[in-house]
Amino acid sequence: MFEGFVTERVDVGEAELLVRHGGEGPPLALLHGHPRTSATWHRVAPRLVAAGFTVVCPDLRGYGRSRGPDPAPDHRPHSKRVVAGDIAALMTRLGHPTFAVAGHDRGSYVALRLTLDHPRRVTRLAMLDGIPITEHLSRMGPEFATRWWHWFFFAQPDIPERVITADPDAWYRADPAVMGADNHAEFRAATRDPRVVRAMLEDYRAGLTVDRADEAADRAAGVGVDVPLLVLWSLRDDLAQLYGDPRAVWAGWAADVRGHGIDSGHHMAEEAPEELAAALAGFFAGR
C-alpha cells in the first residue's frame, strides 16, 4: 500500500501520530472514520497524488498506530477540538500552512471542527457520509435510534470495552477481498488492541458530550463554514434515507455547498475509489 509515500511517526504535542504522506502540489489531509485507519485511503490517496496533490493520511489520535493521552472523565482528550488540533499541528510540522481537508464518518467531525477552529488554514472542506453531530441529535427519531444505536451503546461506561474486546473479530467484521488484504490486516490488528478500542469509544463519548456542546456554542455564536464545502454520501448507506438530501442539512452551516451521492456502501474509499478520487480531485482543484 501507499507506494512512494513516506510513513513516519510525528510528535504533535500531547499525541504522536502515524502518518503517510506523499506527492507534490497543493496539500490536502484525508481523515478516516471508525473503525478504520489511514490505510482505508490506500486506493484513493495514490490517485490524488497522480492528480497533482500532496496527500497526508494520518491515523487519528488513539486509532490505528497513533497514540495520545489516557481518557479523562470529561472525554476532552478525545474531543474533535483536540483531535483537530493534532491535525493542524501535523500539517504545520509537514510544512503546510494552509491545506484542504476531507473527512469520512468520524473523521468528518474532525474535519468540520478543524475548519471551524482554524478557518485561516483550511481552504476547502469535503464531508463524506457526515452531517454535524448536533444535526443528527436534533433530528433524531426512532429510525435513527434504531439504526445508529451504537452511538448510545458506545457512550456507556466500561460495558462496551468488555463486550468488544471479548471477541473483536466478531464485533468488527470486514471482508479482506473488499478492503484489500493489507488494509484489512492493519484494521484487524488495530481493532484487536484494547487501547485502540478504548480510544475509539472515547471518540463517541466525546461526541455526545463535549463535541455536541462545542457545536451548539458555535451555532449560537453564528460560526459556520466559510470555505467551499463538498458533501458526498453513499447511496447504499442510510444518510439520505434518514434526512433526505444531505446538502439541504448543510445549507444552514455553509453558503457554498455542493455534492452528490456515490454508488457505494458506507466505506466509499474502499468500495468506490475511482469515483471518490475523481470527485475530490475536481473539487480540490477548484472545479
Q: What is the pLDDT of residues 75-113, one digit of tens each?
A: 999 999 999 999 999 999 999 999 999 999 999 999 999
> Does 115 reside within a domain?
yes
Buried b (16+ CB within 10 A) or exposed e, 3-15: eebeeeebebeeb
Active site residues: 105, 266
Q: Quick check: is 116 in a domain?
A: yes
Q: Map grid coordinates 501535523 to a residue.
A: 90
Residue count of the chain, please give it: 287
Q: What would the pLDDT profile of 5-62 be if each residue is shown by its tens digit?
A: 999 999 999 999 999 999 999 999 999 999 999 999 999 999 999 999 999 999 999 9
Q: How many domains does the chain have?
A: 1
Q: Is residue 129 part of a domain?
A: yes
Q: Report pLDDT for 262.
A: 98
Whether 1 is covered by a domain: the verdict is no
Mean pLDDT for the chain?
A: 97
Q: Residue 118: pLDDT above 90?
A: yes
Does 70 map to a domain?
yes
Measured CA to CA, the distance from residue 14 to residue 7 in angstroms comes to 20
Give me the sign of the Cα torsion angle 78, 79, 82, 84: positive
287 has pLDDT over 90: no
Percentage of the chain beyond pLDDT 90 is: 98
CA distance 211 to 204: 9
pLDDT per position as a tens digit, 184-233: 999 999 999 999 999 999 999 999 999 999 999 999 999 999 999 999 99
The CATH number given to whatever domain includes residue 84 is 3.40.50.1820
- Tell me which residue range forms the domain holding 87: 6-284
Query: Which one, of 278, 285, 195, 189, lies nearest residue 232 by Cα?
Result: 278
